[in-house]
Amino acid sequence: MRVSMACRNILERSEGSIINIASMPSYIGDAEVPAYCASKTGILGLTRALALTFGMAKVRVNAIARGYHRTGMTRALREIPISANKIAARSVLKRWGEVDDLVGAALFLASPAASFITGATLPIDGGYVSGVRFRP
């Protein structure tokens, strides 16, 4: 939020785009990391509020809600085969995401192709949240 506000003049002059990073706990709880869930849920509200704040200046503000991707942060989970397999199985696409899976979404949201999109959050989670929410 502070960086966005500090860059307001630059963003307004360039009609730029802000892309916040949320994650699956923005939508679903995790008893192991309640503070993380709260902070990531806050990103959704911040994205919508900044979209309103910057909208008149033609600055778009969106978010990406990442799922389980192969990063240093998830290394410990991936090194435990039962955990890694369980996570992949819950994804509709039955795999972990790669960092490159986030790139296309970010490029799209920053591009003119998304010129009428603001205040939105795009899940990049292989259908994980949908699978959790709607599994019978």
Tokens of 2: 């502070």
Q: So which residues are the catalytic ones?
A: 36
Please give the chain's pLDDT, 136 residues, in tens.
999 999 999 999 999 999 999 999 888 888 888 999 999 999 999 999 999 999 989 999 999 999 999 999 889 988 998 989 998 988 899 999 999 999 999 999 999 999 999 999 999 999 988 766 555 4
CATH (domain of 9):
3.40.50.720
CA distance 103 to 99: 7
Residue 6 belongs to domain spanning: 2-134
Count of domains observed in the chain: 1
